[in-house]
Each structure stands twice: as C-alpha cells, then as structure tokens.
Amino acid sequence: MKLLLVLFLWPALVSTLTLIECGDEARRPKLDDIAVECGTTAINLAIQMCPVVYTGYNESQLIMNHIASLACSATLDTSVDPPVARFSFPLNSTNACGSNFRYTSSAGTGVFADFSNIQNVNISGIIRGVDPTTGQITYNAELKYYYSCAYPLEYLVNNTQIDVSGSSVSITDRNGTFLSTLSLVLYSDPNFTTPFNMPASGIELRTNVYAEVAAKNLTAQYHVLLDRCYASISALPANSSFFNLFVPCSKDKSTSIIANGVGQSARFHFPAFRFIEQQNENVSTYYLHCITRLCEKSTCSTFKECSSARRRREIKELDPNSVYTLTSPEIITKPNSPISGAQKADKNEGTSSSVGLGVAVGILATICVIGAIVGAVIYKKVKK
C-alpha cells in the first residue's frame, strides 16, 4: 500500500490546530502516519494531524470512503503528543462507514487441514483529504490514507493461534484478535447454569458433560459454529491419543449437538468416558478442544451442508508450535463404577452357588473313598 502525496507546499487552511502548535512535528506526511487497531467489535484509526495541517487540511476535511456524516467523521485528540485525528467504526457491514468487506476462502493447512473452506474477511477503505478549493487548479497536496484489517474466521479454542493482520499506509502490520471473545466452559446441568465442579476423584462414567463455546463482546455480525470437537489425553494434543466427538458431517452416536451456528454460543453434551490406555491409572484424565468458526450470519448454513466439496481426512498430528494454549478444565472419570444392589445380589447368589457345589463334590468324594475301603476288605475276606 502506498500513500499518494503530491506535495505542493501552501499555507495551511483554517484548522483547530496550527503549524505553530505543531512545532517540530510540522512536516511532510510519512508512510507510518496512520495507526490501525483491529479490534473485536470496532476498527480504530489514528492519523497524525501535524502532517495533515502542514499539507493544507484540517480534521474536518478528512473524509472516510466519501461518507460525510458525524458518525464517520474525525475527532481531534490533542491530549496525545503528537496530536491525532481519530476515526472509529463498528465491524458491521451495514454501518461501517463505507468500508469494504471482502470474504475469501482457501483450503485449510496445518491444524485446519481437515477443512477445505477456511474463511477470512478483509475490511478496508480509504480516508481522503477533501480539497475545498474551487476552480480549475489547486495548490494543495492530494492526501490519501489506506487502511485494512484481515481477520481469520476459524479458531481452535483451547489451542489456538490467531493471526490477524492490519495494514494501512504504515509499513508495519497491525495485529488484532477475536480470541479474547471466545471461551469454552463445561457445565453439569442441561440448562447450562452450573459450571462443572470436577472432583479430584473423578466423575462417574456416563455422567453427562455439557459444553458451551460462547463469544462475548463480539460484533453481532458473526455467529459461532463448531466444526470439530475432540478429547485428547494431553492438554497439548500433539502426539496424544484423541477421540472425535464430532467432525464435519459426522459425530459420535453418544454426542448430542444442542445448538450450533445459530447464535453467539454453541452447545453440545456427551457422556463421560475413559481412554483404555489409562486403564491402569486411578482415574482417566483428558481435555476437550473445539475448532470454532466465526461465520457471517447469512452464510452459516452453508458451512453445515455436507457434500463431497467439504472433505474430511484423518488427523495424524497437531503441531504444538503452531498453536497457543487455552486449556479446558480436566475431565476426570473413575476407572470403575460402584456395584449396584442388583449386582451385589447376583454376586452373593453366585458365591452361595459355588459354596453349595463345593460341599456336594466333597460329600461325593468321601462316599467314593469309603466305598473303596469297604470293597477292599470284602475282597481280602473272600480270597482267604
């Protein structure tokens, strides 16, 4: 991106900031005169004002995307040094001050290699200095500032790398993140009101675990859609045994999806299980991970469709160096469930039967021995 400047120096127009007040900051514009903050609900811009004044404009003549409205106009901030003109607009395509929302899709790589359609959204625009000169010529410089923020819309909650780039006339990229809006919480009740209090001794097998991935303080333009949730023995799932609760177009028969892709939270539940390789341990401990998509409300339904275009391959490895870790609470299950009353009765009945059989065999053996002795005595008498 380039800052297009045609610098014909001319005394500044009327402004709330003067060249004298700017002092040493009164200079020609540079490539890094605009700062871009790519937030979770809004994009904030800050343009250094002294170069704007030096070029012949004031903050009221900086117009964003040809939108001349109070909500999209600049606010002069002299509380910082050097002073800046601030713009702020929400991440909502209907009232983003004319910013362009461009969605792109590409095949997933690395941890997202299972998915053939990974979306990104690029939000961009331009701020121009509007020359008030009338007539055929002007001596004021052309002034343009470009901005853009790129957000990935696929996240691995619990183990996630968020790469958000923000670009403008500045050479240095700006970073933002949606990660702070996402959380994974386990609940013990179907109303999702009581967070799961995991006892150190573990929970009983088949106990229902209710999980919710929710977005907080996220722009209303996006919904939460879970693409894949799985359990792994390690909090960092690289080279660890894992079990898929659900993946695109398929789920384990014991997992129930309650809500997905219809709001800013997704919910499901599953019965507690154990990993067989932990059978010699006192408890079975594992962690829950969810690959989460933030989809634009009107397009969420397309990602829930199953077709050959949405490929699914076996995951062989998750690279720990490519993710950050936000670990869910441990899920701990007891190795054996207590024996029920009916099972105890069956066990006692089986024990009694075994004792009775032993006694009968003993009596029969005694009779046989006595018979053998009597037979031997009679045989000796007959022979004499």
Please give the average per-residue pLDDT across 32-37, as a whole number: 90
Q: Does 160 have pLDDT greater than 50? A: no
* Highest mean pLDDT, choosing among 195-199, 253-257, 295-299: 253-257
Can you tell me the distance from the alpha carbon of 147 to that of 127, in angstroms, rounded to the nearest whole number? 8
**Mean pLDDT score across all residues of the chain:** 74
Q: Does 19 have pLDDT greater than 70? A: yes
Identify the sign of the CA torsion 48, 49, 52, 57: positive
pLDDT of residue 361: 57
Q: Does 274 have pLDDT greater than 80? A: yes
pLDDT of residue 318: 34
Please give the average per-residue pLDDT across 263-272, as a whole number: 93
Q: Is the pLDDT higher at 177 or at 340?
A: 177
Please give the average per-residue pLDDT across 25-30, as a whole number: 86
Please give the average per-residue pLDDT across 345-356, as a whole number: 48
Please give the average per-residue pLDDT across 343-366, as a whole number: 53
CATH architecture, range 181-333: Sandwich (2.60)
Q: Does 31 have pLDDT greater than 60? A: yes
**pLDDT tens figures, 79-91:** 998 999 999 998 8
Structure tokens at 109: 């790589």
Q: Does 166 have pLDDT greater than 80? A: no
All CATH 2.60.40.4100 domain ranges of the chain, comma separated, are: 181-333
Structure tokens at 87: 């713009």
pLDDT of residue 165: 22
Predicted confidence band of residue 245 (pLDDT cuts 50, 70, 90) = very high
Q: What are phi and psi of 88, to 5 degrees?
A: -150, 135
**pLDDT tens figures, 37-67:** 988 889 999 999 998 888 888 899 999 999 9
pTM to 2 decimal places: 0.62
pLDDT of residue 115: 66
Q: Does 191 have pLDDT greater than 70? A: yes
pLDDT of residue 211: 92
**pLDDT tens figures, 303-327:** 887 754 444 433 333 333 323 223 4
| Lowest mean pLDDT segment, chosen from 224-228, 325-329, 356-360 | 325-329
Percent of the chain with pLDDT over 90: 23
Q: Does 373 have pLDDT greater than 80? A: no
CATH class of 19-153+163-176: mainly beta
pLDDT of residue 333: 77
**pLDDT tens figures, 116-157:** 677 888 899 999 888 877 777 777 778 899 999 988 887 667
All CATH 2.60.40.3210 domain ranges of the chain, comma separated, are: 19-153+163-176
Predicted confidence band of residue 328 (pLDDT cuts 50, 70, 90) = low
pLDDT of residue 3: 39
- Give a three-class secondary structure readout of the chain: CCCCECCCCCCCCCCCCCHHHHHHHCCCCCCCCEEEEECCCEEEEEEEHHHHHHHCCCHHHEEECCECCHHHCCEEECCCCCCEEEEEEECCCCCCCCCEEEEEEECCCHHHCCCCCEEEEEEEEEEEECCCCCCCCCCCCCEEEEEEEEEECEEEECEECCCCEEEECCCCCEECCCHHHEEEEEECCCCCCCECCCCCCCECCCCEEEEEEEECCCCCCEEEEEEEEEEECCCCCCCCCEEEEEECCEECCCCEEEECCCCCEEEEEEECCCCHHHCCCCCEEEEEEEEEEEEEHHHHHHHCCCCCCCCCCCCCCCCHHHCEECCCCCEEECCCCCCCHHHHHHHHHHHHHHHHHHHHHHHHHHHHHHHHHHHHHHHHHHHC
Please give the average per-residue pLDDT across 280-301, as a whole number: 86
Please give the average per-residue pLDDT across 208-222, as a whole number: 88
